[in-house]
Amino acid sequence: MPKIVDPEERRRAVVDAVFRVVRRDGVEAASLRNIATEAELAIGSVRHYFTSHEELMVFAMKEMVERVSARVLAHAEALRRPAPVRDRAERAEALLREFLPADSERFDEAVVWLEFTSAARTRPSLQPQAKRLYEGMRMIVGKVLAEANRGGRLHEGLDLDAETERLCALLDGLTVTAVLQPWSFTPQAALDVLHAHLSSLSVDGLED
Protein backbone atom coordinates (compact mmCIF):
# COMPACT_ATOMS: atom_id res chain seq x y z
CA MET A 1 0.00 0.00 0.00
CA PRO A 2 1.51 3.38 -1.01
CA LYS A 3 2.52 5.71 1.78
CA ILE A 4 0.11 8.61 2.31
CA VAL A 5 2.00 11.92 2.34
CA ASP A 6 0.62 14.92 4.22
CA PRO A 7 1.28 17.87 1.85
CA GLU A 8 1.49 20.41 4.68
CA GLU A 9 3.90 18.25 6.64
CA ARG A 10 6.04 17.77 3.54
CA ARG A 11 6.10 21.52 2.83
CA ARG A 12 7.13 22.20 6.45
CA ALA A 13 9.94 19.65 6.14
CA VAL A 14 11.15 21.34 2.96
CA VAL A 15 10.94 24.81 4.51
CA ASP A 16 12.83 23.67 7.60
CA ALA A 17 15.51 22.32 5.26
CA VAL A 18 15.63 25.72 3.54
CA PHE A 19 16.18 27.42 6.89
CA ARG A 20 19.02 25.05 7.79
CA VAL A 21 20.78 25.50 4.44
CA VAL A 22 20.36 29.29 4.43
CA ARG A 23 21.53 29.45 8.06
CA ARG A 24 24.62 27.42 7.25
CA ASP A 25 25.49 28.38 3.66
CA GLY A 26 23.41 31.41 2.59
CA VAL A 27 20.49 31.98 0.22
CA GLU A 28 22.41 31.25 -2.98
CA ALA A 29 23.22 27.74 -1.74
CA ALA A 30 19.53 26.91 -1.28
CA SER A 31 19.04 25.27 -4.68
CA LEU A 32 16.26 22.73 -5.10
CA ARG A 33 18.85 19.96 -5.27
CA ASN A 34 20.61 21.08 -2.07
CA ILE A 35 17.31 21.46 -0.26
CA ALA A 36 16.19 18.00 -1.37
CA THR A 37 19.45 16.55 -0.05
CA GLU A 38 19.09 18.41 3.24
CA ALA A 39 15.48 17.22 3.64
CA GLU A 40 16.47 13.67 2.64
CA LEU A 41 13.98 13.74 -0.23
CA ALA A 42 14.17 13.06 -3.93
CA ILE A 43 14.44 16.27 -5.92
CA GLY A 44 11.24 15.27 -7.71
CA SER A 45 9.42 15.40 -4.37
CA VAL A 46 10.58 18.97 -3.84
CA ARG A 47 9.68 19.96 -7.41
CA HIS A 48 6.19 18.57 -6.82
CA TYR A 49 5.58 21.50 -4.45
CA PHE A 50 8.03 24.14 -5.72
CA THR A 51 8.91 24.51 -9.39
CA SER A 52 11.83 26.89 -8.91
CA HIS A 53 14.39 28.17 -6.41
CA GLU A 54 12.64 31.55 -6.45
CA GLU A 55 9.23 30.09 -5.62
CA LEU A 56 10.73 28.10 -2.75
CA MET A 57 12.52 31.16 -1.33
CA VAL A 58 9.35 33.26 -1.42
CA PHE A 59 7.38 30.51 0.32
CA ALA A 60 10.07 30.01 2.97
CA MET A 61 10.29 33.73 3.64
CA LYS A 62 6.51 33.92 3.99
CA GLU A 63 6.57 30.98 6.40
CA MET A 64 9.15 32.74 8.58
CA VAL A 65 6.99 35.87 8.68
CA GLU A 66 4.02 33.73 9.73
CA ARG A 67 5.97 32.06 12.53
CA VAL A 68 7.24 35.33 13.97
CA SER A 69 3.82 36.96 13.59
CA ALA A 70 2.11 34.12 15.45
CA ARG A 71 4.40 34.55 18.46
CA VAL A 72 4.03 38.32 18.46
CA LEU A 73 0.24 38.13 18.22
CA ALA A 74 0.15 35.72 21.18
CA HIS A 75 1.95 38.36 23.25
CA ALA A 76 -0.34 41.06 21.89
CA GLU A 77 -3.38 39.10 23.07
CA ALA A 78 -1.87 38.86 26.56
CA LEU A 79 -1.21 42.59 26.50
CA ARG A 80 -4.88 43.31 25.81
CA ARG A 81 -6.00 41.57 29.00
CA PRO A 82 -6.47 43.78 32.09
CA ALA A 83 -3.47 43.77 34.42
CA PRO A 84 -1.61 45.98 36.92
CA VAL A 85 0.66 48.62 35.41
CA ARG A 86 3.80 46.69 36.27
CA ASP A 87 2.52 43.53 34.61
CA ARG A 88 1.51 45.41 31.47
CA ALA A 89 4.98 46.91 31.19
CA GLU A 90 6.54 43.46 31.51
CA ARG A 91 4.16 42.02 28.91
CA ALA A 92 5.02 44.85 26.51
CA GLU A 93 8.73 44.19 26.93
CA ALA A 94 8.18 40.44 26.42
CA LEU A 95 6.40 41.22 23.15
CA LEU A 96 9.25 43.40 21.91
CA ARG A 97 11.80 40.72 22.82
CA GLU A 98 10.25 38.56 20.10
CA PHE A 99 11.99 40.79 17.55
CA LEU A 100 15.42 40.01 19.05
CA PRO A 101 17.63 36.88 18.78
CA ALA A 102 17.08 36.19 22.48
CA ASP A 103 17.65 32.42 22.36
CA SER A 104 19.12 29.82 20.01
CA GLU A 105 15.89 29.38 18.02
CA ARG A 106 15.41 33.11 17.51
CA PHE A 107 19.11 33.59 16.80
CA ASP A 108 18.90 31.08 13.97
CA GLU A 109 15.76 32.81 12.69
CA ALA A 110 17.55 36.16 12.78
CA VAL A 111 20.47 34.78 10.77
CA VAL A 112 18.11 33.39 8.14
CA TRP A 113 16.03 36.55 8.08
CA LEU A 114 19.09 38.75 7.51
CA GLU A 115 20.11 36.46 4.65
CA PHE A 116 16.64 36.80 3.13
CA THR A 117 16.42 40.58 3.53
CA SER A 118 19.90 41.08 2.12
CA ALA A 119 18.89 39.03 -0.93
CA ALA A 120 15.64 41.02 -1.20
CA ARG A 121 17.64 44.16 -1.99
CA THR A 122 18.27 42.83 -5.50
CA ARG A 123 15.49 40.24 -5.82
CA PRO A 124 12.07 41.91 -6.18
CA SER A 125 10.16 38.68 -5.52
CA LEU A 126 11.42 38.67 -1.93
CA GLN A 127 10.71 42.32 -1.20
CA PRO A 128 6.98 42.05 -0.29
CA GLN A 129 7.70 39.71 2.64
CA ALA A 130 10.64 41.82 3.83
CA LYS A 131 8.36 44.86 3.77
CA ARG A 132 5.55 42.94 5.47
CA LEU A 133 7.62 41.99 8.51
CA TYR A 134 9.17 45.44 8.91
CA GLU A 135 5.85 47.23 8.56
CA GLY A 136 4.29 44.73 10.97
CA MET A 137 7.03 45.40 13.51
CA ARG A 138 6.60 49.14 13.13
CA MET A 139 2.83 48.86 13.65
CA ILE A 140 3.25 46.71 16.78
CA VAL A 141 5.93 48.99 18.24
CA GLY A 142 3.74 52.03 17.58
CA LYS A 143 0.77 50.40 19.30
CA VAL A 144 2.86 49.36 22.32
CA LEU A 145 4.14 52.91 22.79
CA ALA A 146 0.72 54.46 22.18
CA GLU A 147 -0.90 52.14 24.75
CA ALA A 148 1.81 52.92 27.30
CA ASN A 149 1.36 56.63 26.65
CA ARG A 150 -2.42 56.43 27.14
CA GLY A 151 -1.80 54.64 30.42
CA GLY A 152 0.41 57.47 31.64
CA ARG A 153 3.50 55.25 31.72
CA LEU A 154 5.67 57.36 29.38
CA HIS A 155 7.29 60.71 29.99
CA GLU A 156 5.17 63.63 28.85
CA GLY A 157 5.88 65.34 25.57
CA LEU A 158 7.41 62.41 23.71
CA ASP A 159 7.04 62.38 19.94
CA LEU A 160 5.53 58.93 19.53
CA ASP A 161 6.21 58.74 15.79
CA ALA A 162 9.88 59.52 16.35
CA GLU A 163 10.07 57.13 19.30
CA THR A 164 8.51 54.38 17.19
CA GLU A 165 11.15 54.85 14.50
CA ARG A 166 13.88 54.98 17.12
CA LEU A 167 12.76 51.78 18.82
CA CYS A 168 12.41 49.96 15.48
CA ALA A 169 15.92 51.08 14.53
CA LEU A 170 17.18 49.90 17.92
CA LEU A 171 15.59 46.46 17.50
CA ASP A 172 17.05 46.14 14.00
CA GLY A 173 20.48 47.31 15.13
CA LEU A 174 20.58 44.97 18.12
CA THR A 175 19.62 42.05 15.89
CA VAL A 176 22.28 42.80 13.28
CA THR A 177 24.97 43.30 15.92
CA ALA A 178 24.05 40.09 17.76
CA VAL A 179 24.15 38.10 14.51
CA LEU A 180 27.32 39.62 13.04
CA GLN A 181 29.32 39.92 16.27
CA PRO A 182 28.20 36.99 18.44
CA TRP A 183 31.66 36.72 20.00
CA SER A 184 31.31 40.13 21.67
CA PHE A 185 27.58 40.94 21.77
CA THR A 186 25.42 38.29 23.39
CA PRO A 187 21.63 37.82 23.23
CA GLN A 188 21.50 38.86 26.89
CA ALA A 189 23.30 42.10 26.03
CA ALA A 190 20.61 42.82 23.42
CA LEU A 191 17.88 42.24 26.00
CA ASP A 192 19.66 44.47 28.51
CA VAL A 193 19.90 47.32 25.98
CA LEU A 194 16.20 46.98 25.13
CA HIS A 195 15.29 47.06 28.83
CA ALA A 196 17.47 50.13 29.41
CA HIS A 197 15.88 51.94 26.48
CA LEU A 198 12.33 51.20 27.64
CA SER A 199 13.28 52.30 31.15
CA SER A 200 14.47 55.63 29.78
CA LEU A 201 11.02 56.23 28.24
CA SER A 202 8.98 55.18 31.27
CA VAL A 203 8.00 57.33 34.23
CA ASP A 204 8.25 54.13 36.32
CA GLY A 205 11.72 53.32 35.04
CA LEU A 206 10.88 49.60 34.74
CA GLU A 207 13.43 48.96 37.45
CA ASP A 208 13.78 45.43 38.82
The SS3 assignment for 203 reads: coil
The SS3 assignment for 202 reads: strand
User: Mean pLDDT, to the nearest integer, of 5-10?
Assistant: 75
Q: Residue 138's pLDDT is what?
A: 94
Here the CATH number for the domain that contains residue 11 is: 1.10.10.60
Compute φ and ψ for 202, nearest 5 degrees.
Answer: -95, 140
Q: Is residue 10 part of a domain?
A: yes
CA–CA distance, 86 with 88 (Å, rounded to integer): 5
Q: What is the mean pLDDT of the chain?
A: 88
Query: Which has more pLDDT, 163 or 67?
Result: 163
| Whether residue 157 is found in the same domain as residue 98 | yes
Q: Residue 22's pLDDT is what?
A: 93
Range of the domain at 74: 57-201
pTM, two decimals, is 0.87
Q: Please answer whether residues 36 and 43 qualify as being in contact, where contact means their C-beta atoms are separated by less than 8 angstroms.
A: yes
| Whether residue 78 is found in the same domain as residue 143 | yes
| Whether residue 34 is found in the same domain as residue 68 | no
Q: Of 53, 46, 47, which is closest to residue 13 (Cα–Cα)?
A: 46
| Whether residue 26 is found in the same domain as residue 89 | no
User: Mean pLDDT, to the nearest integer, of 187-198?
Assistant: 95
| Whether residue 7 is found in the same domain as residue 71 | no
| Whether residue 15 is found in the same domain as residue 67 | no
| Whether residue 88 is found in the same domain as residue 103 | yes
**What is the per-residue pLDDT across 98-124, written as a single tens digit (0 to 9) for each?**
999 989 889 999 999 999 999 999 999
CA–CA distance, 94 with 83 (Å, rounded to integer): 15
Q: Is the pLDDT score of 2 beyond 60?
A: no
Overall domain count for the chain: 2
**What is the per-residue pLDDT across 71-108, written as a single tens digit (0 to 9) for each?**
888 888 877 776 666 677 888 899 999 999 989 889 99
Q: Is residue 208 part of a domain?
A: no
| Whether residue 64 is found in the same domain as residue 21 | no
